[in-house]
Structure 1
Amino acid sequence: MTVRIVREEDAEPFARVISQNRDFLQPWEPIRGEEYFTVEGQRRILDDSLLLYSGGILLPCTIIEKGEVVGRININNIIRGALQSGDIGYWVAESAGGRGVATAAVAGVMRIAFDTLGLHRLAASTLVSNERSQRVLEKNGFERIGMAPKFLKINGNWSDSILFQRLNEAYD
């Protein structure tokens, strides 16, 4: 498994894997328009992501296993100054679940966040019902720090989320 910065040529494999996993991902994501599942829709998302990356606000990454795109992981909302923080978000294809792919991807991006970007803190949230994602975060040393009622509009409903954080030990 490898994690690398997204590329424009990832649009086609992302559109394919997202379309193949549409039903699997639906309970964990916002309602998506049809364009999201197209190559052109993914190209626009990647172009926007690369623009935010160039501005230091986002670290957009592709998760690859055995040469195939199997997911995406980002550090969103990177804030510098006194906070030095970012929010991690990820998804993996159903076929990549249960084998440690998400856990390894989080570990890889966490190393970039702490060792390369010098962030002090990574935050994450999961739906209360998303126990698999909670285990991924806990395996990577994230600690639960609270609950946020009606935090995200997921699958058409405002949903409660469990909040997590991982601090960079280099700042201790």
Structure 2
Amino acid sequence: MKPDRITAGLPGGVVLRLVSPGDAEALCAAYVANREHLAPWEPRRPDDFFTAEGQAHRLGERLREYEGGRQVPWLLEAADGRVVGTMTLSGIVLGPFCSAYLGYWTAADHQGRGLATAAVRQVCGLAGEHLGLHRIEASTLTDNVRSQRVLQRCGFEPIGMAPRYLHIDGEWRDHSLFQRILHDGHPRP
């Protein structure tokens, strides 16, 4: 079963749900509101990324990847309908690998409340139960201690360091690598 009908409640009435094409304006508003907060942790974004049209295009790409079984993009939605973060499993590979990459962020005004930890735990449960994944990998900038703590609280273990791994905030940056083994059962056919 794909996790497309899953709606999970999180701290503060936040809901984890699959993105939809109609989320472009709300996602745009979240990125605009958190532009400075996210800048040190993300690639530099073109101006059209911060428009509803740019987000609509991006959502279309993500949903095509979802339909192809290569990605699961979720939103973290507050009770008032605001987007307060995202969770994404990407690079999904089944067969003998059964693995994916986890990426996430939470809004500046929702940090320090356990939201990221609860959402990562929920995604790990969905990944094992509904997708049959064996493992999830995640990376953080080496100085992103808060995100490293989230991963470790969720059962991720450090597995190494990748020099100049991603182009973040205008330069190639070193990343700490983590993984979580979800189960040791046989891969699904």
TM-score tier (shorter): over 0.9
Shift of 1:170: 5.0
CA distance in 1 between partners of 2:147 and 2:79 (Å): 22
2:44 to 27, 31, 46: 31
1:59 to 66, 72, 81: 72
Partner of residue 162, structure 1 = 176
How far does the alpha carbon of each residue in 1:81-101 deviate from its partner, in whole angstroms, 9 at most, with x for none? 110000000011101111111
User: Which letter does structure 1 place at the counterpart of 2:177?
Assistant: L
Structure with greater helix percent: 1
Q: What's the % identity of the aligned pairs?
A: 45
Structure-to-structure mapping, 1:1-172, within 5 angstroms: 1-67=14-80, 68-171=82-185
CA distance in 1 between partners of 2:55 and 2:25 (Å): 8
Give the count of matched residue pairs: 172
Secondary structure of 2:96's aligned partner? coil
Shift of 1:169: 2.9
Secondary structure of 1:148's aligned partner? strand
> TM-score, normalised to structure 1's length?
0.97
Q: How big is the alpha-carbon RMSD for the aligned residues of Structure 1 and Structure 2?
A: 1.1
Shift of 1:104: 1.1
> TM-score, normalised to structure 2's length?
0.88
Q: Following superposition, which runs of at least 4 residues in structure 1 exceed 6 angstroms of deviation?
A: none
**Structure 2 alignment gaps of length 5 or more:** 1-13
Secondary structure of 1:149's aligned partner? strand
